[in-house]
């Protein structure tokens, strides 16, 4: 009898231990399939959008969904453009062509202001609604866009030598065809949103923007308010003296 009681008692201890271990494993399993906030679903050009609860991962092929003179002539989106472009300059095509990429943008799901405000790099600094990357205000290291604006196509984008099509300035196709000039246009790598050149029915007062080219206020997408960047028609166009928040990463 005593042997039977001891056997039952040991079995209960074993089951209790297994149950506790199972519970512990469940609570420490990394979150790998978190819900993507609806706001990111506005990035219609993404090939996929996922979240691990800390970062939003946005994948894109970087191909513009609008006409461009930089597509091959055999492409249905090829545009034989020869008119004036950004700033009223006569268009002068650069020697590059649009190439498909495999971008992976990884940005904070809960962006915070940074203490060091790192400078934006050359290359992608964010992603627009159609999956095309944003670039900063430089044509090269500390080189202004002065000589590059003539190569912006009908919708104010152009490709780099490696085929990366991108926007340094207002993505005109988005602001005039897909959404409006006061709409959300995308996100920078620090997770803070980018809005167009208008707010509350008027052009943004650039004197109200900080050195990072943004400010904090209520928007249609963030009724409680959020820091956000604004695109304007003068330097630095999208972003100023570095990221407002801590940037994530991008690869292609």
The band of 33, judged by pLDDT with boundaries at 50, 70 and 90, is low
Phi, psi of 149 (to 5 degrees): -60, -25
Sign of CA dihedral 199, 224, 248, 190: positive
Phi, psi of 235 (to 5 degrees): -50, 130
Strand partners, 106: 57, 249
For residue range 57-105, list pLDDT tens digits in order. Answer: 999 999 999 999 999 999 999 999 999 999 999 999 999 999 999 999 9
List pLDDT tens digits, range 186-216: 999 999 999 999 998 899 999 999 999 999 9
Q: What is the pLDDT of residues 92-138, one digit of tens each?
A: 999 999 999 999 999 999 999 999 999 999 999 999 999 999 999 99
Beta-bridge mates of residue 186: 128, 194
Kindly tell me if the per-residue pLDDT of 14 is higher than 50: no
pTM for the structure as a whole: 0.86
Comparing C-alpha atoms, which of 199, 190, 201, 192 is closest to residue 219? 199
Q: Which residue has the higher pLDDT, 7 or 129?
A: 129
User: Average model confidence (pLDDT) for the chain?
Assistant: 89
Whole-number pLDDT of residue 10 = 39
Query: How many whole angstroms separate alpha carbon 142 and alpha carbon 13?
Result: 69
| Residues near 21 by beta carbon (within 8 Å), at least 6 away in sequence | none
CA distance 15 to 6: 14
Rounded CA-CA distance 67/155 in Å is 8
Q: Residue 178: which region, alpha, beta or left (left: phi > 0; alpha: psi -120 to 50)?
A: alpha
* Residues forming a β-bridge with 87: none
């Amino acid at each position: 009898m005593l042997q039977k009681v001891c056997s039952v008692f040991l079995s209960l201890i074993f089951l209790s231990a297994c149950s506790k271990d199972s519970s512990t494993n469940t609570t420490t399993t990394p979150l790998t399939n978190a819900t993507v906030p609806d706001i990111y679903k506005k990035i219609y050009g993404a090939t996929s959008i996922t979240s691990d609860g800390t970062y939003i991962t946005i994948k894109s092929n970087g191909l513009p969904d609008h006409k461009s003179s930089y597509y091959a002539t055999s492409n249905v989106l090829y545009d034989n453009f020869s008119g004036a472009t950004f700033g009223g300059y006569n268009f002068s095509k650069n020697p590059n062509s649009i190439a498909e990429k495999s971008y992976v943008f990884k940005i904070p799901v809960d962006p915070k202001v940074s203490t060091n405000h790192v400078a934006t790099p050359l290359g992608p600094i964010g992603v627009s609604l159609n999956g095309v990357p944003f670039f900063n205000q430089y044509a090269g290291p500390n080189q202004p866009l002065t000589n590059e604006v003539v190569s912006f196509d009908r919708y104010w984008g152009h490709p780099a030598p490696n085929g990366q099509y991108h926007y340094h300035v207002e993505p005109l196709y988005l602001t005039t065809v897909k959404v409006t000039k006061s709409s959300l246009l995308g996100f920078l790598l620090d997770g803070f949103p980018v809005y167009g050149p208008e707010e509350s029915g008027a052009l943004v007062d650039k004197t109200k923007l900080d050195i990072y080219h943004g400010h904090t206020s209520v928007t249609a997408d963030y009724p409680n308010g959020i820091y956000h960047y604004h695109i304007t028609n003068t330097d630095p166009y999208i972003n100023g003296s570095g990221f407002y928040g801590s940037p994530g990463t991008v690869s292609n």
